[in-house]
A and B are shown apart, each in its own frame.
Chain A
């Protein structure tokens, strides 16, 4: 337990010490909220969708969590290159504990980031419908955070250096985000796009967040929770396995 805690604490300390990273990673969500929220707002309203900021905010919060979580996982490559990983790998500690400590740490950081984006969206004009659902919102934030941190860890375990990193950005993170229903409603989409969205784990996270924040989940909260929960367990197991195979 102490080992998981100290590895968790390390991630948290690193997060709070890199203020420039925190600030930098907030620019994008803010820009999207302002540009898309206010840019498409009038059209969305005319089309009968209601207030677009209300619709958009949960999507942007998910994005904040997604990016931070995957990056936290990917940090392993950094640790591999700059040596710290060796220090943990020669320690008499099970690989599973190292993986769990890191994932919880990265996940916590991603949740914090999500909360900050939530705060920003409140400033921009977002209003949750029902504050009693907020604990459930937190549950979904945690699930998104854990799932994607574990996914990042799994990917980082098999990558050798940061070269593959740009590819992951372009071919994984961007599609995950844009094809998740974060920016548009899933109702009435072309079949192909809908098919992709429904196999995209982030769709269930966005849907869960939206459901708990403003109501009207597309898949239903229970489905969202079960799908995301199950996937998180699976990717944690795969991630731990790949992590335990790291040789440096």
Chain B
């Protein structure tokens, strides 16, 4: 379903992703782990047509995201790391807009939106503006929105960041259910190692732009002679805290907060 060969992405002199290769088969749940700044989000952006690779080959559901963009775009849903809802629109309007953009016919669209909103428990809030929502509610809405067009592949970039255990469990059980019933392939990143250990069938760990290890959670633990994925992760990537670059978006958000609150 996802096939990546020698993928490289450079920004000027900086190599964000360095000759990585991996593949995810249909119906698999794949966790892409790594410390901050390791290249996870850059990889997701390339897989989802938002960035062009410097070199290497990528296939998503049999299509190249750099060339057959629309075919690739039709095949996946995504929950971004940063919020990507329109705050000035209501819950319903955000869902509806998504459905229209993906060409889901009206009756199906209406039915699915209702179903999904009920599932993430936002149906009562369907006519409320998103800007009044808490972080957890927005996250739930983003997950629901990513599923409106029933994608073959679901990309989740730290989908459960900042959510309470109840919400996290709730969301994952729904996604796992879709994974078994619809054979939906799931590609996700997370910093919660116990989450990855519990949910992922296969794991790749990326650090400094390179994949350092891949395998099942059990294989990773065995290889590092550790008892949990968290220990395995630390054994593989070291314990130093990574410097994070502040990007333009973060600066903007900071200013937004200063001005508006």
Contact = CB atoms under 8 A, between A and B. Distances in A.
Interface in A73-88: 80-88
A85 B70 CA distance: 16
Interface in B66-87: 69-71, 73-74, 76, 78, 80, 82-87
Nearest to A15: B88
- Pick the most buried of A84, A88, A161: most chain B CB atoms within 10 A of its CB: A84
A197 B82 CA distance: 44
Contacts, number: 89
B102 A86 contact: no
Interface stretch (B190-198, B209-217, B231-239, B244-252): B244-252
B252 A90 contact: no
A160 B74 contact: no
Contacts of B129: 17
Contacts of B73: 90-93
A84 to B, nearest CB: 5
Nearest to A18: B88
B258 interface: no
A87 B48 CA distance: 11
B251 A83 contact: no
A189 interface: no
A7 B255 CA distance: 27
A13 B89 contact: yes
B23 interface: no
B84 A83 contact: yes
Contacts of B97: 6-7, 10
Contacts of A6: 96-97, 100-101
A94 B49 CA distance: 13
Interface in A1-21: 2-3, 6-7, 10, 13-14, 17-18
B101 A3 contact: yes
B252 A92 contact: no
B103 interface: yes
A162 interface: yes
Contact of B51 (A13, A94, A160, A247): A247
A89 B50 contact: yes
Interface residues on B, range: 35 or more
A82 B80 CA distance: 12
A16 to B, nearest CB: 10
Contacts of A18: 88
Nearest to B77: A90
A31 interface: no
B253 interface: yes
Interface in A85-134: 85-94
A7 B76 CA distance: 21
Contacts of B70: 92-94
B248 A160 contact: yes
A162 B85 CA distance: 20
17 contacts: A6-B100, A6-B101, A13-B89, A14-B89, A82-B256, A83-B80, A83-B82, A84-B86, A86-B82, A87-B84, A87-B85, A90-B76, A91-B102, A92-B70, A94-B70, A161-B251, A162-B252
Given A86-B50, A161-B248, 12 more contacts: A2-B100, A10-B93, A14-B88, A17-B129, A81-B256, A87-B85, A90-B73, A93-B73, A160-B248, A161-B251, A161-B252, A247-B51
By Cβ-Cβ distance, the 9 closest A-B pairs, closest first, are A83-B84, A92-B73, A91-B101, A81-B252, A161-B248, A92-B74, A92-B70, A6-B100, A87-B84
